[in-house]
Structure 1
């Protein structure tokens, strides 16, 4: 497989599993990095060839401007994944990554290259916007929001030099997700036809169980819902349970694909 430079910028493959029939594309949360999925990649390499997406403006891409519009992120990810689409893709996104996965799945279906399935985590359904504006506030308010969500090591936030380095990307991501507005497809009852699985934390301060369950309105395919103990970043302490759930989803998607092929 020939991978161009632009694709290498976006896609990380920590534990290559070329023998697996599917590729799982992992999309990070706001302020997140591809490396957040390193241990997930390791745990799931027995079930899929795992790819993690690296957004511009962080880690080895810190010298690039971070993108502030969700559709621009989707454009870049979509283009970068083309060389990897020789096998069925399953999309998995957490928080902001859930919205990016959803819009990416819509784009793929519109181009007659649908994903095998979409797994979303830690995000309310797209048609339920919340008037957030953290990205317009000062650094202290942004840091307070990050602390509330408990997704960043407190030691990192206490290091002023590191904070100065990461805040621009975090602010850009917050702007992208806070200004995102779902636009229905004219003439379609459901945005997607692929299977959709939802994972959420039972005590997530940003997503109620009802808001997470509302994702069922966005697919005409099979719908699965699971909740786990924990808050917005429940998937870190619940990693074993979450990776088992994703592995189960991959198995079910594979069976569904087989049944469709022989039906």
Structure 2
């Protein structure tokens, strides 16, 4: 890596308000990276502890969408193309080591589109793409829940088991979560995948939960249609947010996806 790149990475690590990611436990000497894309209304802190679960030589980089936590002053983005373009450019300095991209629920669709964007920009590509708890592009679920009342949106979040908070007791939290939910649901519900897009060049794993009412195995299998390389489905016990109880098993699986090839080159 060139010295100017080292300086750039150090500077963006120190300014978390302007970067599109959080690194809760920096590992400058790590040989690999894991990029995580959160679910709708999710923030980087949901995955704060994942750095404790991965191998010592894996640095965990969690995407922080604008408008939340340390980026609360940044405008929300409800358009998929705009979001992934911003992410691809913002992450490029970190694509200098073997990396895996993992996305959960809405984050799975963002991870897919981000991988396509990285391919189209001819950046260094991921070793593996891991998509969790969302259907493939050919059967993408569109909708208009983002137009629903505040009460309906919060009920949906509770139904998916995405939070244990009683928003009736903590209305200030509801005031924080609702704009994020409405924005992110608009992003994913109005998202229209390009069914003629390029195939994903790297291997793809789709993770699904056995009790997830939002995703069937048949819908998970449709991801194979976008793959040019190997395709695997991995199932876990639990509901839509199985990644909470299964975090250790999920990260262990991911850590086995990196290649042993020591000749992996730095990004251009």
TM-score scaled by structure 1? 0.89
Deviation, structure 1 residue 249: 2.2
Q: 1:159 aligns with which of 160, 164, 170?
A: 170
Assess if the C-alpha contact under 8 Å between 2:37 and 2:107 holds in 1. yes
SS for the counterpart of 1:91 is: strand
Gaps of 5+ in 2: 1-5
Assess if the C-alpha contact under 8 Å between 2:55 and 2:255 holds in 1. no
SS for the counterpart of 1:9 is: coil
Assess if the C-alpha contact under 8 Å between 1:20 and 1:47 holds in 2. yes
Aligned pairs for 1:45-60 within 5 A: 45-60=55-70
Residue 143 to residue 92, structure 1, CA distance change in 2 (3 Å): same
SS for the counterpart of 2:138 is: coil
The alignment yields a C-alpha RMSD, in angstroms, of 2.1
Structure 2 Cα separation of the partners of residues 131 and 89 of structure 1: 30
Assess if the C-alpha contact under 8 Å between 1:10 and 1:54 holds in 2. yes
Q: 2:33 aligns with which of 23, 30, 40?
A: 23
Q: 1:71 aligns with which of 81, 97, 108?
A: 81
Structure 1 Cα separation of the partners of residues 232 and 262 of structure 2: 19
Q: 2:246 aligns with which of 228, 238, 252?
A: 238
Matched residues, number: 254
Assess if the C-alpha contact under 8 Å between 1:7 and 1:80 holds in 2. no
Assess if the C-alpha contact under 8 Å between 1:202 and 1:231 holds in 2. yes
SS for the counterpart of 1:49 is: strand
Deviation, structure 1 residue 220: 1.1
- The structure with the largest helix share of the pair is 1
Deviation, structure 1 residue 259: 9.5
Partner of 2:193: 182
Does residue 1:211 correspond to 2:190, yes or no? Answer: no
Deviation, structure 1 residue 248: 2.0
Partner of 2:45: 35
Stretches of 4+ moved more than 3 A in 1? 3-8, 155-158, 257-261
SS for the counterpart of 2:126 is: coil
Structure 1 Cα separation of the partners of residues 180 and 70 of structure 2: 12
Aligned pairs for 1:90-169 within 5 A: 90-113=100-123, 114-156=125-167, 158-169=169-180
Partner of 1:200: 208
Structure 2 Cα separation of the partners of residues 212 and 117 of structure 1: 17
SS for the counterpart of 1:127 is: helix
Please give the per-residue CA displacement for 1:137-168, whole angstroms capped at 9, x wherever unaligned: 11011111111100112235641111012210
Structure 1 Cα separation of the partners of residues 256 and 228 of structure 2: 20
Structure 2 Cα separation of the partners of residues 157 and 206 of structure 1: 25
Assess if the C-alpha contact under 8 Å between 1:7 and 1:81 holds in 2. no
Gaps of 5+ in 1: none
TM-score scaled by structure 2? 0.88
